């Protein structure tokens, strides 16, 4: 997904050490074209480099806090992680298939959002607006259809 992001730079720019584990996790997410759960990430990373489950959770938490990753949520299930919006990635909505559980990135132009009204009147601080489209993906529709 991301041939533009230099993970080492991303990490050091946020004041984090660019450790092997962090790079592996970022590469795993970046090489995938859709967000992954912590368990997915652990399984993929652990195939080649042994890494502790807890370390995965801790790195994910840290990178979300530093806004290098974004956490996406969906019905009562595990959170998904993808690269956070940055100069190479516009913020974009996600599609979640309620049949197969697949999460996909949608084009940033596919949905138009205007939160100006809210931003003007809201008495708290707004950090982000997350848009998730739920439905049934093409593949599942095909399998069910006939």
Partner DNA sequence: GACAAGATGCAATATAGTTGCATGAGCAAA
Partner DNA sequence: TTTGCTCATGCAACTATATTGCATCTTGTC
Binding region for DNA (CB under 7 A): 16-17, 19-22, 37-39, 50-55, 57-59, 61, 76-79
Instruction: Quote the CA–CA distance of 142 and 139 in Å, as a whole number.
Output: 5
The CB-of-2 to its own copies minimum distance in angstroms stands at 22
Phi, psi (rounded to 5 degrees) for 138: -50, -50
Nearest alpha carbon to residue 67 among 82, 55, 84, 79: 84
Q: What binding mask, one character per residue, do residues 17-36 give for its own copies by CB under 8 A, x or -?
A: --------------------
Q: Which of 46, 136, 143, 146 binds its own copies (CB under 8 A)?
A: 136
Single out the residue of 88, 124, 59 nearest to residue 51, CA to CA: 59
Q: Does 124 bind its own copies (CB under 8 A)?
A: yes
128 contacts its own copies (rule: CB under 8 A): yes
């Amino acid at each position: 997904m991301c041939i533009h992001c230099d993970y080492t730079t991303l990490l050091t720019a946020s004041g984090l050490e660019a450790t092997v584990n962090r790079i592996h996790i970022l590469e795993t997410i970046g090489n995938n074209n859709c967000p992954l759960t912590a368990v997915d990430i652990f399984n993929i990373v652990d195939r080649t480099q042994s890494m502790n489950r807890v370390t995965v959770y801790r790195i994910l938490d840290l990178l979300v806090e530093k806004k290098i990753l974004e956490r996406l949520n969906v019905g009562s299930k595990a959170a998904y992680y993808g690269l956070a919006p940055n100069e190479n990635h516009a913020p974009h909505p996600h599609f979640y298939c309620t049949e197969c559980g697949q999460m996909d990135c949608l084009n940033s132009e596919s949905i138009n959002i205007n939160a100006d009204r809210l931003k003007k009147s809201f008495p708290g601080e707004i950090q982000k607006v997350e848009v998730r489209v739920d439905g049934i993906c093409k593949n599942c529709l095909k399998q069910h259809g006939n």
